Amino acid sequence: MVKELSQEFYQNKREALYDLLPDQSATIIGAGCEVSKSLDENYPFYVNNNYLYLTGLTEPEGILVLAKMHGQNSTTLFIRKPDPFKEKWFGRHISIDAAHQKSGIDDIRYLDEFESFCSDLKGLDYYEDDTVPDHQKREFGLEHKHSLLPLLSKMRLVKSEEELALMRHAIHLTHLGINQILANLKPGDFEYQAQDIFEYTILSHGAEETAFGTIAVSGEDAPILHYMTNRKRMVDHTMILFDLGARYRGYCSDISRTFPVNGHYTRDQRALYEAVLQAQRDIIPYYQVGTNMRDVQEKSRELLNQYGLATDLFDPEKTIDDYYYHGIGHSLGLDTHDLCEDRRVTLKPGMVITCEPGLYMADRGMGVRIEDDILITEAGPVVLSAEIPKSVDIIESMM
């Protein structure tokens, strides 16, 4: 089992953020609040990832305050006070001691002290990540002056070895789920049955949840990039495109694969699939330190056009924009589309960026996307998801 992030990890991240903040400033980051679904049920809660990144805590309503005054750093955490009545229905709130053990924060108070505490912050430069409700900012005299996101983006883009270990495990869980899809996929089943097989597998092996809503889109709907219905019956001699991932201890994987529903690609399907696969193999070596993702995007268009034309499936009156209409990749981490101020980022060691070329032909009822997760290193790109099958021969043999 992969170790969870250490208390030292969260302490180091807070210190790194302090180094980026100017003197006489404060930042307030909220965990987020639960949203009521009915009188006695809330929607599933997922914590604000910036709060998680700096504390390791996942409970709702927590507030982290970092203040930097006269060269001195002050960290204060506010959490919910125990409520015996509510805890009978919904479970215990985290204790001050448990919050300290996880986060390494010494000054932990209950939320009812937050208002009076904020009076000491008036007049400081205020940084936020848009998680503090407007009424609180008004009530406590806090005015939005600076966005915290550029600073957190700079930090979160580069992963530590501890983070990479969790991401590798999330990818491994995704691999296990995809293998089960390949073992069970067949015409006549519904798309959601393949989705259920994947999600049952990753959850039974320790995933917290899916990294995002699973996409399982077959046949002529494959060119729909964010198809989420997953309700169609899969038809013989068509393909199904999966975009899926596992979340493990907060960290995500993001993988796309396109499989033949009956276990064998038709001639045209194979031609289109191998065009995308060859383009991906040629694009990945461009994921080098110092390369700008804008240049990788242009290279992906060039290669997909080159290999697509070679299939003789393209309409000569159309352009690559008719067959490929999304970005080649994005940062991956605590969010599937991880915090990144500029998608045209210049690559640095420790970044994890997806590589996901695709070709979509609505008139032929086909769509192919192949996506892997790439670690940027000084020695060149490392495909973290290399174990997940993607060659035609291996896919057909596994099915």
Q: Is 298 a catalytic residue?
A: no
Q: Which of 40, 41, 106, 317 is catalytic?
A: 40
Catalytic, out of 163, 243, 372, 373: 243
Three-state SS for 21? Answer: coil
Write out the two tokens for 329: 């990749």
Measured CA to CA, the distance from residue 358 to residue 344 in angstroms comes to 19
DSSP type of residue 290: T
Q: Is 254 a catalytic residue?
A: yes
How do beta strands 251-252 and 358-361 pair? unpaired
What DSSP state is assigned to residue 52? H
* 144 annotated active-site: no
Catalytic residue among 326, 343, 364, 396: 326
Q: Where are the alpha helices (DSSP H) in the chain?
A: 7-20, 49-55, 84-90, 96-103, 114-118, 134-139, 149-156, 161-184, 191-204, 267-283, 293-310, 392-398
Give the tokens for residue 181. Answer: 């899809």
Please state the φ and ψ torsions of residue 292, each to the nearest 5 degrees: -90, 135
Active-site annotation holds for 281? no
Spatial CA neighbour of 372 closest among 278, 254, 261, 286: 254
Handedness of CA 137, 143, 144, 148 (dihedral sign): negative
**For the chain, what's the residue count?**
399
Nearest-angstrom CA–CA distance, 128 and 88: 34
Q: Is 363 one of the catalytic residues? A: no
User: 191, 356, 372, 373: which one is catalytic?
Assistant: 356
Contact 270, 365 (CB under 8 A): no
Query: Residue type at 104?
Result: G
Phi (first) and psi of residue 369, to 5 degrees: -135, 135
Q: What are 394's two structure tokens?
A: 């291996």
Which residue in 128, 129, 163, 254 is the catalytic one?
A: 254
Q: How far is CA 55 from the centre of its chain?
A: 19
- 274 as an active site residue: the answer is no
267 is catalytic: no
Give me the catalytic one of 226, 233, 264, 344: 226
Structure-block tokens of residue 305:
């056009």
The alpha carbons of the chain give a radius of gyration, in whole angstroms, of: 24
- Choose, from 265, 330, 335, 372, the residue flagged as catalytic: 330
To the query of whether residue 356 is one of the catalytic residues in this protein, the response is yes
> Of the residues 273, 360, 372, 373, which is catalytic?
360
Instruction: Pick the catalytic residue from 205, 337, 343, 364.
Output: 337
* Residue in 128, 129, 371, 372 annotated catalytic: 371
Q: Is residue 369 annotated as part of the catalytic site, yes or no?
A: yes
Catalytic pick from 307, 369, 372, 373? 369
Q: Is 55 exposed, middle or buried, given 0-12, 13-18 or 19+ CB atoms closer than 10 A? A: buried
Q: In whole angstroms, what is the distance from residue 398 CA to residue 395 CA?
A: 5
Residue 70 bears catalytic tag: no
226 in catalytic set: yes
Catalytic residues: 40, 226, 243, 254, 326, 330, 337, 356, 360, 369, 371
